[in-house]
Structure 1
Amino acid sequence: MKKARSIALFMVVLAVVLHYTFENDGIDFIIGFLAGGGVALLITGTFARKKRA
């Protein structure tokens, strides 16, 4: 779980840095994907859903 949360934090930080570095370059979709995925991963803390038996 620590690994997933550290990757998620990296994704969010990378999205913020890219947002301020590349303004109006058409990279908004990638920034949104990184930020959204990072926040979702920070909240859940897992990469995949656990399968129910």
Structure 2
Amino acid sequence: MHNDTHYGDKANVTCAPGYRLLGTDDNENVTETIECSTNGYWSNLTGCQPKSEHTYN
């Protein structure tokens, strides 16, 4: 399998509908950017969690 990613490449990762980024209370925070590291692996992805039913400002 050929891998065309290189050090410094970036990718946007978006949570599936109904999910938000892990560790945030912001239901609109659903996308993060990860980067290819010097070791050839992508930076740590935060992950996703179900959106809450209510948001408080």
> What TM-score do you get using the length of structure 1 for normalisation?
0.28
Please state which structure has a larger fraction of its residues in helix: 1
Based on CA coordinates, which of the two structures has the bigger radius of gyration?
Answer: 2
Structure showing greater relative contact order (alpha-carbon pairs closer than 8 Å, 6 or more residues apart) = 1
> What TM-score do you get using the length of structure 2 for normalisation?
0.27
Please state which structure has a larger fraction of its residues in strand: 2
